[in-house]
Homo-oligomer: A and B are copies of this chain.
């Protein structure tokens, strides 16, 4: 919605720039994703190495000390920087990105400080708590896109002229979408999955050309990651193994299945759905509890983070003691028990040549654990250990997410799903032809379907993770079932978090009750309008009194008796006009075109920079009595609907075209040319039910 047209040369440079920015987003996202992984692997690796060495030396208490203190310090660090520098970087960031792409500007989500805190906080939390790195990576990618899209890097500085073209909402949203795709691609090394994720679960509007650009960005990410991994294979990256970027290669497993196996897969889907919606239910309760704690201040946040860190350390260190020691298998190529290094056979408290299977699950990075669970054929795990591990992972996942620090949900969910998937595979035993590793993969899929409720993107991500396309029909089936089961109970986890955060997310479809209402049923409150030539004092008064962002402009020329709707003017434009002080002495229309005194740059909206505030503008008494000619600055062709239109129909218009204001005009020509103005908030169920409580009942009948 740029309100001044551009020249041909501008368009060409604009297209080139768009692609260059996508390239840059891809390169930077890839590099950041790689750096994140490297840091996490090394931090967690050193921690686990120290603990293991102490365990081997039988210094159990000291081992626990090192383990718990490291976790505690890292968590505290993450909570401190998040809480003090950028509270917006807490959590996964996926709900915020989703809300942004829906048109909700949450404060500070894309500021540079949030970006930096997200990176370093994520490294600290992921290496200490049972949380994932994928969600923060999406936010990081989106931030990269947004930072490129906001025209200047900090107030007044570095305003590259070429970046100015990107100062409209649509381009910024496109860049954020590309960035988010790049983030997913970097987190899972899954380019197609990244694009589909953005399409399926993040974006509210989508164009074919955007698909292509997002795809380009993720392709760049894939190439960058590949190049960086090539560097690392030569062993220059410390403890960073090949497991750094999630890539669970199960191509070795041959996928042969028959009709009877489908039955087990259906069962897995149902279990995933039930567990998933229970997970969401628990998560909602926990988050409500936490947010009441976190509101009280930084001290309480630190206390909460510390408690969870200690609980996590205790569980991870304590539970393996309950597992029995297993003799080392003869056939493996790996060292058993794994000595100092990170590996699959952790000795823990067991005698030599025995290993503790629970420790093998707990004392690895999450990525390595998932790889163990996905591995084919080996009968490494005891059923009792698996159950313990499942319970620990399930509940640690629930309690860890709410900490005020960057934390993702994906990896814990994948891990938990893999555990019960493998368990069910073990239960089925010889009745099923499928490999236990495959059961673990399908378990992950079913749990993802049950919690996140994304189907297509999760399916493609799993395929790209496991690099095995033959799994496709099974994964699809399990996802569809688990999503259908879970959807009949409650909402998906991101929608739930959005609601808890109070962000007005606008759904794409109309609820049935909206058909029974007309648009005039939901508008309320006094309508603030301006005349074509308005007194400065009036404008200042209205801007101070209301928080509206758009004001209709009404023109009552002396010739026609009835006033008519001239257009709509934005609050931000009014503020610019007030700041410029090109006021007219009288309310008569002049022939001087004042709009020439403004360049389009004046009206540019900058990204995260705090918008102007009416209180900042000081005007003299004299100026308050003067007038402004609003005509040149008004959008003269706003979208309008007639007052008898059903709310459902108006919602479709509002949502599909991506409006912020929708003017309602009367059916008959009354004195007033305007009935009201619809904004996003008027479509929220809370608002509608507040006005029409009777609908509430009919909704659930």
Instruction: Give A residues with C-beta under 8 Å from B.
Output: 5-6, 8, 11, 191-192, 195-196, 199-201, 206-209, 211-212, 215-216, 219, 222-223, 226, 251, 455-456, 459-460, 463-464, 467, 469-470, 472-473, 476-477, 480, 483, 508-509, 512, 515-516, 518, 560, 562, 564-565, 636-642, 644-646, 649, 652-653, 656-657, 665, 667-669, 701
Cα A668 to Cα B564 in complex, Å, equals 6
* Contact between B512 and A473, CB atoms less than 8 A apart: no
* Contact between B653 and A639, CB atoms less than 8 A apart: yes
Q: How far is the CB of A598 from chain B (nearest CB, A)?
A: 19
Q: How far is the CB of A279 from chain B (nearest CB, A)?
A: 21
What residues on B are CB-neighbors of A219 within 8 Å?
472-473, 476-477, 480
Q: How far is the CB of A616 from chain B (nearest CB, A)?
A: 33
* Contact between A652 and B657, CB atoms less than 8 A apart: yes
* Contact between B641 and A11, CB atoms less than 8 A apart: no
* Contact between A469 and B472, CB atoms less than 8 A apart: no
Selected A-B contacts with CB under 8 Å, 6 pairs: A8-B701, A206-B206, A215-B455, A219-B477, A463-B469, A653-B657
* Contact between A5 and B516, CB atoms less than 8 A apart: yes
Given pairs A11-B512, A463-B469, A639-B653, 19 additional interface contacts (CB within 8 A): A5-B512, A5-B516, A191-B472, A195-B456, A201-B208, A215-B456, A215-B476, A216-B476, A216-B480, A219-B472, A219-B480, A222-B473, A469-B469, A560-B668, A560-B669, A564-B667, A564-B668, A636-B667, A637-B641
* Contact between A509 and B456, CB atoms less than 8 A apart: no
* Contact between A464 and B455, CB atoms less than 8 A apart: no
Cα A6 to Cα B648 in complex, Å, equals 13
**Which of B6, B215, B641 is in CB contact (< 8 Å) with A640?**
B641
What residues on B are CB-neighbors of A669 within 8 Å?
560, 562, 564, 669
Closest 6 CB pairs of A and B: A637-B645, A219-B476, A656-B656, A5-B515, A222-B473, A637-B644
Cα A314 to Cα B455 in complex, Å, equals 50
Count the copies. 2
Q: How far is the CB of A224 from chain B (nearest CB, A)?
A: 10
Q: How far is the CB of A461 from chain B (nearest CB, A)?
A: 11
Measured CB to CB, the nearest residue on chain B to A670 is: B560
What residues on B are CB-neighbors of A192 within 8 Å?
192, 456, 459-460, 463, 472
Cα A460 to Cα B211 in complex, Å, equals 13
Given contacts A191-B476, A215-B455, A669-B669, contact A209 B641 (CB under 8 A): no
Cα A5 to Cα B515 in complex, Å, equals 7
* Contact between A473 and B8, CB atoms less than 8 A apart: no
**Which of B199, B206, B472, B641 is in CB contact (< 8 Å) with A222?**
B472
What residues on B are CB-neighbors of A196 within 8 Å?
196
Interface of A is mostly: helix
What residues on B are CB-neighbors of A470 within 8 Å?
467
Cα A459 to Cα B251 in complex, Å, equals 20
* Contact between A509 and B200, CB atoms less than 8 A apart: no
What residues on B are CB-neighbors of A226 within 8 Å?
473
What residues on B are CB-neighbors of A216 within 8 Å?
476, 480
Given contacts A472-B191, A637-B642, A653-B639, contact A212 B455 (CB under 8 A): yes
What residues on B are CB-neighbors of A459 within 8 Å?
192, 215
Cα A470 to Cα B653 in complex, Å, equals 43
Cα A656 to Cα B639 in complex, Å, equals 13
Measured CB to CB, the nearest residue on chain B to A519 is: B637
Cα A653 to Cα B209 in complex, Å, equals 18
Cα A683 to Cα B564 in complex, Å, equals 28
Q: How far is the CB of A350 from chain B (nearest CB, A)?
A: 39
Cα A129 to Cα B431 in complex, Å, equals 49
Cα A640 to Cα B519 in complex, Å, equals 15
Q: Quick one: which of A191, A226, A473, A667 has the most chain B CB within 10 A?
A: A473
Cα A15 to Cα B470 in complex, Å, equals 30
Q: How far is the CB of A52 from chain B (nearest CB, A)?
A: 34
Cα A223 to Cα B475 in complex, Å, equals 12
Cα A350 to Cα B92 in complex, Å, equals 68
Q: Quick one: which of A560, A565, A642, A665 has the most chain B CB within 10 A?
A: A642
* Contact between B211 and A456, CB atoms less than 8 A apart: yes
Cα A563 to Cα B449 in complex, Å, equals 56
What residues on B are CB-neighbors of A5 within 8 Å?
512, 515-516
* Contact between B456 and A508, CB atoms less than 8 A apart: no
What residues on B are CB-neighbors of A467 within 8 Å?
469-470
Measured CB to CB, the nearest residue on chain B to A649 is: B637
What residues on B are CB-neighbors of A515 within 8 Å?
5
Q: How far is the CB of A223 from chain B (nearest CB, A)?
A: 5
Q: How far is the CB of A230 from chain B (nearest CB, A)?
A: 8
* Contact between A208 and B562, CB atoms less than 8 A apart: no
Cα A208 to Cα B199 in complex, Å, equals 8
Q: How far is the CB of A217 from chain B (nearest CB, A)?
A: 11
What residues on B are CB-neighbors of A6 within 8 Å?
512
What residues on B are CB-neighbors of A251 within 8 Å?
251
* Contact between A222 and B476, CB atoms less than 8 A apart: yes
Given contacts A215-B456, A226-B473, A652-B657, contact A200 B191 (CB under 8 A): no
Q: How far is the CB of A662 from chain B (nearest CB, A)?
A: 11
Q: How far is the CB of A505 from chain B (nearest CB, A)?
A: 13
Measured CB to CB, the nearest residue on chain B to A701 is: B8
* Contact between A212 and B456, CB atoms less than 8 A apart: yes
Cα A251 to Cα B252 in complex, Å, equals 11
* Contact between B641 and A642, CB atoms less than 8 A apart: no
What residues on B are CB-neighbors of A646 within 8 Å?
637
What residues on B are CB-neighbors of A652 within 8 Å?
657
Cα A483 to Cα B212 in complex, Å, equals 10
Q: How far is the CB of A1 from chain B (nearest CB, A)?
A: 8
Q: How far is the CB of A225 from chain B (nearest CB, A)?
A: 9
Cα A653 to Cα B470 in complex, Å, equals 43
Cα A473 to Cα B191 in complex, Å, equals 8
Cα A509 to Cα B200 in complex, Å, equals 22
Cα A216 to Cα B484 in complex, Å, equals 12
Q: Quick one: which of A8, A518, A639, A652 has the most chain B CB within 10 A?
A: A639
Cα A469 to Cα B250 in complex, Å, equals 12
What residues on B are CB-neighbors of A199 within 8 Å?
199, 211
